[in-house]
Structure 1
Amino acid sequence: MQSQQFEDILRSVPLMSPEQVNVLHTTLPLAANTVTSNVQAESRFLERLKFYFDQHPVCVRCRSAHVNRWGSKDGHQRYCCKDCGKTFNAMSGSIAEEDETFFHESHKGDRKLQTPRKRGARSQRKSRHAKTEKKASVPLIPVMVACDRNHHVIDAVLKKVSTEELQSQLEGRILAGSTLCFDAHLAHEHLAEKLSLTAKTLVSSSGERVKEGIYHIQTVNAYHSELKRWINGFFKGVATKYLQRYLGWKRYLKTHMFSIEGFLDQISIHWAYQHIT
């Protein structure tokens, strides 16, 4: 992807006509559907991988083929290595990370919220104080992001951070038996159990950044930072009612499927179809 060409397209968005914006909005859901289709295909691939692994199991730690069957858990056959003693299944070693980030609620672009300007200038000190108070009183909107280290991303705007909401967003989208890394939070306490995952909890408030040498949430936190720079920096914030669309747009751009040619093709096809009909 040519970064300069991509930036040129993004800068053109505010200059688009209403018809062009409509084309862009109708194109983005197609992109999200494409990502969903690929995630489903990946799940089928992982299921097949598990089938073939069970035919010829190898220890994920020492690569020894001297293993015994060691019962099953959540429908997955487990094994025990005779050489190093590690127990594992076909999905051991596949790691996902999950964490939440927050955006200030925004009604950007809503003309109904505009109020008449009052006469008289306020002091600079009072203005700064008022802005600070206003920012502190703005509700925070939670956004859940889960990703693996191959940059496959699941995201959602939440009503609140709860086990039930997280489960509804992640259930069926992370293969059972995988390892899930997350920060210590009440909503995470039983999440892995409900999703049949292996939990690796990090207590960030106590300075714990890495667990057992390999488990961390640095990948998802890096994505949080990238997402906030994109939404708050490039777009100067977006209306909360459109936040999910921008999450999908960012997720689409993050995948290897995106190309400048494909993006332009989709816009061109929709634009031509709109004028023909």
Structure 2
Amino acid sequence: MAVVTRDVDVLIQLFRRLPPVERNIFLRLVVAGDDPNRVSEFSQGVARCPHCCKKDYVKNGKKDGRQRFLCRICGRTFGERAETVFYRSKKGLEVWYEYIRCMLNKLPLQRCAEECGICLHTAFSWRHRILGVLQAMMDKVMLNGVVQADETFFRLSFKGQKKLKGEFLGRVGVRQRRRGLSRDQVCVPCAVNLDGLSVGRVSNLGKPSGNDVLGVLDGRIAERSILVTDSNSVYQKVADVMGLSHIPVPSGMRCAAPRAERSPQAAHIFDVQTINSYHSMLKKLVNCRFHGVSTKYLNNYVIYHNFVNFAKGNFKSKCGVLFNFILEMPVRGGLRSLVRRV
């Protein structure tokens, strides 16, 4: 039986205090020695050839310590990081995990780049790679119970483009704002429940119709749920189409009760305070924390807000969930479509 020295005992105790994700990274580094790329980072292997989508491939040597494969069907080669967020990334997984920690701390891109030792362009690309994959997680969210729904609006922004069809937009890329609700406003219908689950997506410009809201919420709310909204008549149509019980909160009132229980002794009182709080945090994230974002990336930041600000769970658990998800989630269609996905 091997004798456990004091130093080894200390290491074991420290190892047991690490979260599961950091344990895996530590074990990879121990096996790899000085070169963490010497060990395969994806134990499940490659599911298929990214070029022809066939599963008939063989090993084809290594490059920079990473396994390469040769497809027997199309004759093209690919690596073990193909069709993952890490494709063509020269950084190890420990750098990616550190970036996720910075990202969940809502640090600006410049700080993320400094903390992880990468350039600003890489920090921007990594953020949208991760957010693009995170949309697949949010697509599986199903709201149930008491669901509050409402829409919020953002200014139409072409941030990063100083000109659009000959029109000078300035550094912030925002058109001259017209008063009131117009097509210069981007509508984002959202819905939340009391368990910390939320959905939201850009639907249209200006005032939304029933079909616009249905395009976001249809199939995302479970049957027999209670839909609580403001007095906008659009949501009555949405509730009828989806077969939900609808409770509108009249304008000027903070809460409402079902028609059968409208009495001072009503046991169930419903309000829209949770969705209002959700919108407030979303606006602070987009307009204050990141000083506005381009409309084409707005969906990515709604997903960012859903996971970082609104979802329940502590910081370490969120880091582990996100890191494990991007490890296992395949990327289809290339990284360019992933980054530009809206």
Change in Cα spacing, 1:12 to 1:265, as seen in structure 2 (3 Å) is farther
Contact 1:183 1:217 in 2 (8 A): yes
Q: CA deviation at 1:226?
A: 0.6
Contact 1:32 1:249 in 2 (8 A): no
Q: Percent identity?
A: 25
Rounded Cα–Cα distance in structure 2 between residues aligned with 1:269 and 1:200: 40
Change in Cα spacing, 1:7 to 1:240, as seen in structure 2 (3 Å) is closer
Q: CA deviation at 1:24?
A: 2.3
Which residue matches 1:188? 235
Describe the superposition over 1:64-96 as per-residue Cα deviations: whole angstroms up to 9, x where unpaired: xxxxxxxxxxxxxxxxxxxxxxxxxxxxxx210
Instruction: Say if 2:176 is the partner of 1:134.
Output: yes
Gaps of 5+ in 1: 47-93, 118-132
Tell me how many residue pairs correspond in the alignment: 202
| Aligned-partner residue type, residue 193 of structure 1 | D
Describe the superposition over 1:44-79 as per-residue Cα deviations: whole angstroms up to 9, x where unpaired: xx8xxxxxxxxxxxxxxxxxxxxxxxxxxxxxxxxx
| Aligned-partner residue type, residue 208 of structure 1 | M
Which residue matches 1:101? 152
Change in Cα spacing, 1:219 to 1:18, as seen in structure 2 (3 Å) is same
Instruction: Say if 2:32 is the partner of 1:32.
Output: no
Change in Cα spacing, 1:209 to 1:11, as seen in structure 2 (3 Å) is farther
Question: How large is the Cα RMSD of the aligned pairs?
Answer: 3.5
Describe the superposition over 1:187-227 as per-residue Cα deviations: whole angstroms up to 9, x where unpaired: 223211111000001122xx111112521111001100110
Mapping of residues 1-277 of structure 1, within 5 Å: 6-8=105-107, 12-13=111-112, 16-37=119-140, 39=141, 94-113=145-164, 115=168, 134-136=176-178, 139-159=184-204, 160-204=207-251, 207-212=252-257, 213-253=268-308, 254-256=310-312, 259-261=318-320
- Counterpart secondary structure, 2:150: strand
TM-score normalised to the size of structure 1?
Answer: 0.62
Contact 2:138 2:199 in 1 (8 A): no
- Counterpart secondary structure, 1:98: strand
Larger RCO (CA within 8 A; separation ≥ 6): 1
TM-score normalised to the size of structure 2?
Answer: 0.51
| Aligned-partner residue type, residue 244 of structure 2 | L
- Counterpart secondary structure, 1:136: coil
Q: Which structure has the highest helix share of the two?
A: 1
- Counterpart secondary structure, 2:284: helix
Rounded Cα–Cα distance in structure 2 between residues aligned with 1:260 and 1:243: 22
Contact 2:148 2:192 in 1 (8 A): yes
Gaps of 5+ in 2: 1-99, 258-267, 330-334, 336-342
| Aligned-partner residue type, residue 255 of structure 2 | V
Rounded Cα–Cα distance in structure 2 between residues aligned with 1:183 and 1:250: 22
Q: CA deviation at 1:250?
A: 1.1
Q: CA deviation at 1:267?
A: 8.3
Q: CA deviation at 1:34?
A: 2.2
Q: CA deviation at 1:4?
A: 11
Contact 1:163 1:190 in 2 (8 A): yes
